[in-house]
């Protein structure tokens, strides 16, 4: 087994999702292209299978692990992630260009500018930002 780490250890409590994917290297490449994610940690088996990888989008960490028994849709249904960013339109467009599929276009509703897409592994992502209160 081979492990690579970038030293992004945290000392306080945090919660980070773990995504099961059928193609670990492909998933790492997609999230880098879609979000500019940075690979913080990666553990591969002797065959190059990604046992686990930690990625970060800004200060938001998430993990993924390869599960070759998965089809295009996660076994328990799609996982839904919410990614809050400064420019949701640009990030949404970039994620689609990298291979995501639009579920709901970017729109404004309920105090958010937000859109939803499915990544190539069946996980759903809502990319958006809160709209500042426009009342005087």
2-5 and 18-21: which strand pairing?
Answer: unpaired
| Residue range(s) defining the domain that contains residue 50 | 1-7+15-68
Q: Is the pTM of this model over 0.85?
A: no
Question: By the 8 A CB rule, do 28 and 64 touch?
Answer: yes
Rounded CA separation 57/25 (Å): 17
Place of tokens 């937000």: 114
Sequence-distant (6+) residues with CB within 8 A of 136 are: none
Stretches where the chain sits below pLDDT 50 are: 135-136
Q: How far apart are CA 82 and CA 31, in angstroms?
A: 14
CATH of residue 112's domain is 3.30.720.110
Q: What is the pLDDT of residues 54-82, one digit of tens each?
A: 999 999 999 999 876 665 555 556 678 99
Same-domain pairing of 1 and 45: yes
Instruction: Kindly state whether residue 103 falls inside one of the protein's structural domains.
Output: yes
């Amino acid at each position: 087994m081979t492990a690579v780490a970038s030293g992004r250890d945290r000392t306080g409590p945090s919660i980070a999702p773990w995504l099961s994917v059928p193609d670990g290297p492909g998933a790492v490449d997609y999230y880098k292209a879609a979000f500019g994610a940075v690979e913080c940690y990666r553990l591969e088996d002797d065959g190059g299978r990604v046992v686990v990888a930690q990625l970060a989008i800004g200060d938001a960490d998430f993990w993924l692990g390869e599960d070759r028994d998965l089809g295009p849709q996660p076994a328990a249904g799609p996982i839904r992630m919410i990614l809050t960013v400064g420019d949701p339109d640009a990030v949404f467009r970039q994620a689609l260009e990298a291979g995501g599929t639009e579920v709901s276009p970017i729109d404004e509703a309920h105090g958010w500018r937000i859109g939803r897409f499915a990544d190539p592994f069946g996980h759903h992502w809502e990319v958006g930002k809160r709209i500042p209160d426009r009342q005087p």
